[in-house]
Amino acid sequence: MPVQITIIGLGQIGASLGLALAAHKDKVTTVGHDKDFGVERLAQKNGAVEKTNHNLPSSVEDANIVVLAIPVHQVRETLGYIAQDLKKGTVVVDTTPIKAEVAKWAQEILPDGVHYVGLVPAIGPDFLQETGTGLDSAKADLFSRSIFLLSAPYGTPGDVLQLVSGLVGLTGATALNTDFIESDGLMSSALLLPQLVSASLINATTGQPGWQEVRKVASRSYYAATSAFTGQDEVTSLHMQVMQNRENMMQKLDAMITALVELRYDIEDANEKGLKDRLQKAQDGRQNWLKERSAASWMEAKHEPVEKVSISERLLGTFFSKPKDKKEK
């Protein structure tokens, strides 16, 4: 019997997950829910989910896995709405970029016998230049050759972790096990700091004398540098993510301020060599990161064989199993 995966939130992340799972319809049934009727209909039409259910509690009643692909400011309320309708053994997964606080909500709200696992998906290297966040930017291979940070409460059964890792594998990505604190620290640099820097650049320029003329010539560089601060729910979500990750963010902002001050000193002192060296270091760092991200060499780690039958195998059969070499006998 196919496993039901209910995806709540059919934006880029939720719909891309559904599109990736669509290649496994014989093993998985996907049910989609979104607060927007139109998004639900279009997601089903585009094949991101097999069916939709606009009644939120009803959409999760028969689910084996529930994925919350929604902004962080909607997570706590959503957990409250669905908690009493989750059957024992269900695994609830969220894709928000903060985990320590969400894990507290899950522990407080979810009933005994329901498991919580946190995931933070990274976009695949082929799509780093894209800035869309909605359903229209969803792709079946959005996560291909990328990483999902996976974190779970202490004592979570190994089979549950294997189940979620297997789900990640179906997207073409690899799960990287972390704890909640480490995950939040990583995302403070990888996601939150770029958004705050982008917001700060906008505030530092649009409010200054001369903006009325600057806006006429602001072009590719300005667009690229401010594109991290986009999205319909950006302000509310970013505000909450930063405030719930305060210690990490203060450290990262201090490092950013130091880097800017060093640039200013070089300019003030007319230190041409120092400025050039600093800019060259930045250019080299970015090129090296892009090269490593594109190569995705960390994806080559071998999986350890599983000797006993796991939850994932019982639920999904060979759904998460590594295919055998056809030459083997």
Q: d(Cα 4, Cα 21) in Å, to the nearest integer?
A: 11
DSSP string, 240-301: HHHHTTHHHHHHHHHHHHHHHHHHHHHHHTT-HHHHHHHHHHHHHHHHHHHHHHHHTGGGGP
Bridge partner residues of 118 (DSSP): 94, 151
The rounded percent of the chain whose pLDDT value lies above 70 is 89
pLDDT at 304 over 70: no
What tens digit of pLDDT does each residue of 176-217 get?
A: 999 999 999 999 999 999 999 999 999 999 988 899 999 999
Name which residue leads in pLDDT, 149 or 129.
149
> What SS3 state is found at 19?
helix
Calculate mean pLDDT across residues 85-110: 97
Least confident span in 63-67, 89-93, 274-278, 289-293: 289-293
Mean pLDDT of the chain: 89
Determine the pLDDT at residue 303: 40
pLDDT at 310 over 90: no
Query: What are the chain's domains?
Result: 3-179+302-316 (3.40.50.720), 183-295 (1.10.3660.10)
Structure tokens at 88: 């024992």
Calculate mean pLDDT across residues 59-68: 96
Q: d(Cα 136, Cα 132) in Å, to the nearest integer?
A: 8
pLDDT bracket for residue 300 (50, 70, 90): low
Alpha-carbon dihedral angle through residues 21, 26, 31, 32, given to the nearest 10 degrees = 30
DSSP string, 161-178: HHHHHHHHHTTT-EEEE-
Q: 5: closest CA among 84, 58, 67, 51?
A: 67
Strands 115-121 and 147-151: antiparallel
pTM (predicted TM-score): 0.87
Determine the pLDDT at residue 311: 40
Calculate mean pLDDT across residues 47-74: 96
Determine the pLDDT at residue 231: 57
Name which residue leads in pLDDT, 25 or 167.
167
